Amino acid sequence: MAGLEVTGTTLKVQAVDDLKANHPLPLLLQIAGLARSTFYDHRNRLRRPDRHALLKDAVREVFDQARGAYGHRRVHAVLLRQGWQVAKKTVLKVMHALGLRCLVRRRRRYNSFRGEVGTAAANVLNRRFATTARHTKWVTDVSEFAVGEVKVYVSPIVDLYDNRVVSVTAGPSPSIKMVTDGLREAVATLAPGEKPLVHSDQGFHYRHVLWRETIRQAGLTQSMSRKGTCLDNAVMEGFFSHLKEEWFRLSHPATVEEFHAGLHDYLRWWNSTRIQERLGYLSPDEYLAHIPAVA
């Protein structure tokens, strides 16, 4: 409430200051309900130079470069990397003053479960998302996007080591071929001896013989979430939330062509530039380059 009172007083002071050249000041102060001392005190504050002017410019630049996807913690982390010495609370205050807000909503989930088709695998991952090496734990899922009157389905595979998107396929239907093609593309990136665990929900794609046989032939380990337990695949839930909030909802691609181009651009940005708290405020590319150097 205090913040609202100060804002209201400031607006009144600005109005009185604008009108006093044409109207008696005592009358304006009476109408506004302001004491003379209050008016002059606030007017003097408004005329002082803004000590956060340069910081505001820097905050806005970081926020804009992040496509509006960063909250105050990530903006603060980027500013520190740029050499600023500023408190996290100050960044939050400046963002509030500039009206910069990062709003994240929960995604509307696409449910790929179609009954007891095929065989479910055990929950080998069991929410142990941490890993100390690349290509040891992969997670995947399918999400639905409405583009005009049509729908597009996206199937990424994410490496839990650095949250990198290893591969992604997208198409007009959540077909088994589309999902399995993405797995094959990811397998093609593996070096000899790399045999990651591949975790998914119990959707029909992952119960299908084509998916299971592709995993078997590559020597990988299959893992599935428990039925109706989305937190067993929480990393993918989080990734899709970011994808929809940081790109799709803001960009509103109008055509399927715009969707695919925007998706490609976002995933490139995700891997190369977008910093993540879990990675020490580094992007997947930066994390991959940094960790061997300090190991």
Give the pLDDT score at 116: 56
Share of the chain above pLDDT 90, in %: 51
Give the pLDDT score at 111: 57
Give the pLDDT score at 89: 86
Residue 157 or 36, more confident: 157
Give the pLDDT score at 294: 38
Indicate the average pLDDT of the chain.
85
130-146 confidence digits (pLDDT tens) = 999 999 999 999 999 99
Helix, strand, coil content of the chain in percent (nearest 5):
50, 15, 35
Give the pLDDT score at 136: 97
190-221 confidence digits (pLDDT tens) = 999 999 999 999 999 999 999 999 999 999 99
Share of the chain above pLDDT 70, in %: 88
Give the pLDDT score at 107: 47
* Alpha helices (H) along the chain: 2-19, 25-32, 36-47, 53-65, 72-81, 88-98, 176-187, 204-207, 209-218, 234-243, 249-251, 256-272, 284-294
pTM of the model: 0.67
| Rounded mean pLDDT, 282-291 | 91
Report which of 241, 246, 172, 183 is spatially closest to residue 211, judged by C-alpha positions.
Answer: 183
Task: Estimate to the nearest angstrom the gap between the alpha carbon of 249 and the chain centroid.
Answer: 11
Give the pLDDT score at 6: 42
